[in-house]
Chains A and B, each alone.
Chain A
Amino acid sequence: MSKEKKPHSISRRKFLKNFGSGVVGTTVAIHSLQKIPHAQETLESAPHTDRSPLTITVNGKNITTLVEPQTSLVDFLRDQLKLTGTKIVCNHGECGSCTVLLDGEAVYACHMLALDAANKSVVTIEGLLEAEELHPVQKAFLEHDGYQCGFCTPGQIMAAHAILLQNPKPTREEIISGMSGNLCRCAAYPKIIESVVAAAEK
């Protein structure tokens, strides 16, 4: 690294000078000023305007809306419907964190287009609740500590729910293999397995 490029901390004074004003936060570079949309404009001038109509049922509610055709189901759920319980971890169908039910079967919501879920029924982690009351599978995870940081938990619970919908009395081995598509980096696996076993016994 040459001498004149030697890194140095900047002082507050210099920082403000660089940005031209003491009222930081209101200072804006000229080229971007022209581009900043007003709040009202945002939706109308949003980049991809070729939107397709989508009719879908999410957590029991019928929704008719427009989506950009390339939108994945998980982005639709999170960005458009603000159902942030469903997580994105790998975004490549490798980890199961975005698992939701599609017509009663577990799917990776990062791995399909929202348009492919048209006229189908999606249930997310939020949809398992009855008002503020937890679903029995959710209760089992809570009682048996089937998580640590909790980020993969919605996906784990939806996968467990799907297993039990298909097979209400799975063996321990069936549970272990059924849950193997859902990665947990905290590796809370023993208690995840215990939670699903307990949920199956309910």
Chain B
Amino acid sequence: MASRKIIKSKHFFEEDFQETLGEVSTDSYPNWPLNEKLTYVGKALPRIDGYDKVSGTAKYAFDIYLPHLVHAKTLRCPLPHARIKKLDVSKALQLKGVYDIISHQNTPQIQWYYVSLLFDPHLRYEGDEVACVVAETEALAQEACKIIEVEYEELPFVIDPKEAMNSDAPKLYEEGNIVRGRPSEYSRGDVEQGFKVADFVIEDEFKTQVEVHNPTEPHCSVVNWDGDKLTVWDTTQAIFRVRESVAEALGIPESHVRVIKQYMGGGFGSKLEAGKYTIMAALLSQRIGRPVRIAMDRREMNLAVGNRPDSVQQLKVGFKKDGTLTAMTHYSYGSAGAYPAGAACSWPLKQIYQCPNISTTDYSVYINAGRGRPFRAPGHVQGCFALESILDDAAEKLNMDPLDFRLKNYAELDQVDNIPYTSKLLKEAYIKGSEAFQWKKKWKKAGSDLGPKKRGVGLASQIWWGGGGPPAYVTLKLNSDGSVQIIAGTQDIGGGTYTFVAQVAAEVLEIPMTKINVLLGDTAICPYGPSSGGSLTAPSISPAVRDAAEQMKSKLIAASAAILGIPENQVEYKQGISSDRKNQDNKLDIPEILDKMDEKILIVSGAREANKEGYTINSFGVQFAEVEVDTLTGKVKVLKIVAAHDIGRVLNRKLLENQFHGGIIQGLSFALTEERIIDRNTGKVLTTNMHDYKIPTTMDTPDIDIVIVSEGDALISNTGVKGIGEPAMIPTAGAIANAVHNALGVRIKSLPITPDKILSALYG
């Protein structure tokens, strides 16, 4: 048992493929049966960490108060583009209770974002870090920021990616405003020939806005030095990444940095990397010898900690009279913001529908605004909206049901790598989803509903990776009373990791959930686990949990055989009790086994197995939307969403529903309300609070049905799970946009679909 080997492993993480070497388990276990035959896995069980959350006792990084704690606040650049000419902190330092101020003048040059510094006197956006103050209270630190004297050299700025691509645009970097100096490109087949053989060719341009993560818990850290060892409580989706960055920036060994995250108030991709604020707090804390807390306010959250880049996408689609796609091209550009980030959005077009001839070109462009970061299915949410919009137009040109159009172009294989999927049940999703939605009954010619309130329906498909992979490890401890602790270096970011980890262990060891405790998010204690992004936490860590629990079960069976004096295969293990198949009275429970072994704690280590070579792992789904558009006010109300998805095995039905709801409602507000707005004249962001930046409320919540068409996918892993966080959001905006078009007979080609756009499309 517990055999391992080192393998090369490739999986998609947020914006790129990552290739890693990982130690994997080579043990294989029988496939689990369907969920209905399982006891814990798949069931709608409440969260094991629920008590902490509803009682208010859950400790987030935001809630860590240490003795002698002091507070830091950042002075940020008020201009979109500037250079610091003079910086004078002497007045601010005279304030009673202000202890220290750091800036480029008194800190080492620590590299940041590859192309800049922790404190870079060249300031590239409104919100760039100028200085950081530590004081007795947060309010005092804020006051000190106001009296720091800075003389800025104002530089010309550019906030529109199209303008930024022009050769005469103000430059953020000497090398120019295109990230990496070139676009990402892809092609297959012969596009020219593909358009030549098409019966129809249509072209259009679609736009999506900048979306800001706005997690509820602000980005924050509490840091404390003990001599040369640093503890960081951070609100993060990636404890090990934070540890690595902090150790590197401060020049100390990773063994001396402990990063702790027990609970985290939302991230959505914005907390997948270490923030400058953590390093600034650590430097300040080191200089003054007191623990430091640094927490952003909502304005900083809207300026400086990431966003989903906008996009301008030009699509061209060729197709036959029967609907067969012959060629597609996709050209896009989007804002990386002021530092390197990816804005590409052509992935769905490359992969989701059968099409032999494709070319794509994606430009990521520097502009003088906050830097982009991964945001729940980066690129896919934008790309899906444009692709699904133009394909609806193609279907309409043929008077074809949009669902039939998609079925006509169904792809059986992964066309990018030309290999099969471990599983693809999108067809089943189309069938079951359309039945649940009553698509055939509800779909009608676009614009045919009589007003003034017009109803319409639309659909959009989804593809995402989310198969996870190694390396991912867990430690499982069995105590002498039969209770279990599982320790894993991943994070629960709200998806329910604590709970499903316990469910998997309970399933294997056949012990009640109440005997299991799970510890996550502590680099000093936990074995390595993946960052919580890319919808890969559950698919990566759940097989490692099963591996550990199976090993523990084998250990218990071996020990029972020795104690009972029978061969191992004569031991029957059930409900935590080992018995002799030939004499059922001859039995031992777990405490008795450990007692006889004279062990207080048994420990095993579990690992994720390798992904099978020759297969691609993707999740698939389709969402159907029904909307009502008031043609007098331009207001869109989403009435119903049916989401039908292939996501492998369901680990916990309750958690799954919740995460789908969240993704769909975020997709809804991406379609209708959310938008970062920058004033073109001043380069300043106008939407820096939760009133102006519009996230949805209970009132916007539609009726949502979730149909899961998949069971465990045995080709992925021993639990057969695909991730669900991102798939849930990808198709929603596309489905809503298509439903709005179906209601009005007019297409809105830019998100968000606000009343003004609808009214000007109807009457403008």
Q: Is B228 an interface residue (CB 8 A)?
A: yes
- Asked, given contacts A18-B108, A148-B494, whether A188 binds B662 with beta carbons under 8 Å apart, the answer is yes
Q: Is A111 an interface residue (CB 8 A)?
A: no
Inter-chain contacts of B62 with A (CB < 8 A): 84, 87-88, 151
Interface string of B81-114 (1 = CB under 8 A from A): 0000000000001011111100000101111100
Partner of B108, one of A15, A125, A176, A182: A15
- Asked, given contacts A15-B251, A29-B287, A84-B65, whether A91 binds B266 with beta carbons under 8 Å apart, the answer is no
Q: Which residues of A58-95 have CB atoms within 8 Å of chain B's CB atoms?
A: 70, 78-79, 82-92, 94-95
Whether A10 pairs with B655 at a CB distance below 8 angstroms is no
Binds A, one of B32-40, B613-621, B642-650, B687-695: B687-695
> Smallest CB–CB gap between B87 and chain A, Å?
15
Whether B54 pairs with A7 at a CB distance below 8 angstroms is no
Which residue on B lies nearest to A132, using beta carbons?
A: B55
Partner of A142, one of B46, B57, B216, B266: B46
- Asked, given contacts A15-B251, A151-B216, A191-B661, whether A36 binds B288 with beta carbons under 8 Å apart, the answer is yes
Docked complex Cα distance between A185 and B286 (Å): 35
User: Interface majority SS on A: helix, strand, loop or mixed?
Assistant: loop
Whether B266 pairs with A125 at a CB distance below 8 angstroms is no
Binds A, one of B134-142, B568-576, B713-721: B134-142
Interface string of A158-185 (1 = CB under 8 A from B): 0000000000000000001101111111
Interface string of A32-55 (1 = CB under 8 A from B): 100111010010011100000000
Inter-chain contacts of B251 with A (CB < 8 A): 10-16
Inter-chain contacts of B50 with A (CB < 8 A): 141-142, 145, 147
- Asked, given contacts A142-B54, A188-B662, whether A149 binds B100 with beta carbons under 8 Å apart, the answer is no
Inter-chain contacts of B230 with A (CB < 8 A): 25
> Smallest CB–CB gap between A58 and chain B, Å?
13
> Smallest CB–CB gap between A160 and chain B, Å?
11
Whether B263 pairs with A183 at a CB distance below 8 angstroms is no
Most chain A beta carbons < 10 A, residue from B49, B54, B65, B689? B54
- Asked, given contacts A24-B252, A45-B96, A82-B65, whether A187 binds B289 with beta carbons under 8 Å apart, the answer is no
Q: Indicate the size class of the contact surface on chain A.
A: 35 or more
Inter-chain contacts of B65 with A (CB < 8 A): 79, 82, 84
Q: Is A126 an interface residue (CB 8 A)?
A: yes
Whether A187 pairs with B111 at a CB distance below 8 angstroms is no
> Smallest CB–CB gap between A154 and chain B, Å?
5
Whether B690 pairs with A150 at a CB distance below 8 angstroms is no
Inter-chain contacts of B135 with A (CB < 8 A): 47
Docked complex Cα distance between A84 and B493 (Å): 19
Interface string of B187-224 (1 = CB under 8 A from A): 00000000000000000000000000111111000000
Docked complex Cα distance between A83 and B57 (Å): 9
Docked complex Cα distance between A11 and B252 (Å): 9
Docked complex Cα distance between A166 and B49 (Å): 30
Partner of B266, one of A47, A78, A151, A191: A151
Inter-chain contacts of B139 with A (CB < 8 A): 70
Whether A92 pairs with B100 at a CB distance below 8 angstroms is no
> Smallest CB–CB gap between B93 and chain A, Å?
7
Whether B704 pairs with A190 at a CB distance below 8 angstroms is yes
> Smallest CB–CB gap between B19 and chain A, Å?
23
Docked complex Cα distance between A151 and B62 (Å): 10
Whether A47 pairs with B108 at a CB distance below 8 angstroms is no
Most chain B beta carbons < 10 A, residue from A46, A85, A148? A148
Docked complex Cα distance between A46 and B140 (Å): 10
Q: Is A186 an interface residue (CB 8 A)?
A: yes
Inter-chain contacts of B288 with A (CB < 8 A): 28, 32, 35-36
Docked complex Cα distance between A79 and B56 (Å): 15
Q: Is B679 an interface residue (CB 8 A)?
A: no
Whether A180 pairs with B56 at a CB distance below 8 angstroms is no
Partner of B697, one of A148, A150, A180: A180
Inter-chain contacts of B496 with A (CB < 8 A): 148
Which residue on A lies nearest to B697, using beta carbons?
A: A180
Cβ contacts A to B, 16 pairs, < 8 Å: A7-B120, A24-B228, A25-B226, A36-B288, A45-B97, A78-B63, A87-B265, A142-B46, A143-B46, A150-B49, A157-B54, A180-B697, A187-B696, A188-B662, A190-B704, A191-B658
| Known A11-B251, A32-B288, A36-B290; further 8 A-B contacts with Cβ < 8 A | A28-B288, A35-B98, A84-B56, A89-B218, A94-B690, A134-B55, A151-B263, A179-B698
Return the 7 tightest CB-CB contacts between A and B, nearest first. Answer: A85-B56, A151-B265, A149-B494, A150-B53, A15-B251, A125-B56, A187-B665
Chain A positions near chain B (C-beta within 8 angstroms): 1, 5, 7-16, 18-19, 22-29, 31-32, 35-37, 39, 42, 45-47, 70, 78-79, 82-92, 94-95, 97, 124-126, 129, 134, 138-139, 141-143, 145, 147-154, 157, 176-177, 179-193
